[in-house]
Amino acid sequence: MLVSDRTALIKSLAREIGFSFCGISKAEFLDQEAPRLEEWLQRGYHGTMRYLENHFDKRLDPRLLVPGAQSVITLGYNYFPANDLAATHELKVAKYAYGEDYHVVVKEKLQTLLSRMREQIGAIEGRAFVDSAPVMERAWAQRSGQGWIGKNSLLLNRQMGSFFFLAELILDLELVPDGPIQDYCGTCTACMDACPTQAIPEPYVVDGSRCISYFTIELKEEIPASAAGKFENWIFGCDICQDVCPWNRFAKPHQEPRFEPSAEFQAMTTREWQEITQEVFTKRFGKSALQRSKLRGLKRNVSVVTAQPG
């Protein structure tokens, strides 16, 4: 099979499985990202996320993750909900956590894609990644022309905004690479202006240690007093910089049943969040990304938010 034919086949299979886009890059060292990552770490913008200091070389060179790698396939999977619960609920949860954990759902889709590729192309060596290894997914997505990295550091796509998950297949398969597209942020600073914790100190640079998502998910210690009162009722993650982005006016509801919130989740009141027990937490959110904060972290977040003045 010609390289161009198998490239077209892979993109067709990805669409059939439900991926919103599929882009391809040559597997090589990310030379432009290396100094940016090093400076970001030196500034301490990763906070307590010490794991981001590990595997520096592997983050920048996919051939160290998959020996013999020739191509990086980037895929997007839409999670934009038809109903924004944050608009009608006092306490807010990031849209990506409404349904089943995306790591599980998207990884299954990736494995299906890889299986179908092997059926039609032949033996392929490679690995599938869904936010689970040292892979600079946004850099690869940008290189493959699936969008550009916005001032809030998220990948922005002209057709669907930024409410999608990124996933990668790193393979020992030669494919036709796509080229990058230009940056369409222009002079807009909506995301920077809207962030209540000033976590975007300069365009295209996010201080992770000041992000509401970091405080409510990654930080295992007590939330510092300096951040209290600035969460705008977000108890798990935050969508502020995405909600204000003009490109997200093009976002369309996903078609993935497993991302739909349960009736119990949609009916959760502030009092129920405050009084949630381990049994209820496990029953309602056992398959949810909310498990990342664990019950202790979630109750801490709820306490901090509901204790805010006003």
Q: Which residue, among 251, 252, 282, has the nearest Cα to 264 in the 3D structure?
A: 282
Token digits of residue 51: 């794991």
Which residue numbers in the chain have pLDDT < 70? 50-51, 55, 308-310
What pLDDT, on the 0 to 100 scale, is given for residue 310? Answer: 43
Mean pLDDT of the chain: 93
DSSP state of 48: T
Reported in sequence order, the residue ranges of 67-214 that DSSP labels E, i.e. its strands, are 71-78, 92-93, 126-129, 148-149, 155-156, 164-171
| Burial state string for 230-253 with b = 16 or more CB within 10 A and e = fewer than 16 | bbeebbbbbbbbbbbbebbeebee
Widest Cα–Cα separation across the chain = 65
Round to whole Å and give the CA distance between 166 and 98. 17
What pLDDT, on the 0 to 100 scale, is given for residue 135? Answer: 86
- % the chain with pLDDT above 70: 97
Round to whole Å and give the CA distance between 261 and 38. 38
- 235 and 301 Cβ atoms separated by less than 8 Å: yes
What pLDDT, on the 0 to 100 scale, is given for residue 96? Answer: 97
Q: Which of 61, 84, 131, 172 is catalytic?
A: 131
What pLDDT, on the 0 to 100 scale, is given for residue 309? Answer: 55
Q: Please provide residue 124's backbone torsions phi and psi, each rounded to the nearest 5 degrees.
A: -135, 130
Is 131 catalytic? The answer is yes
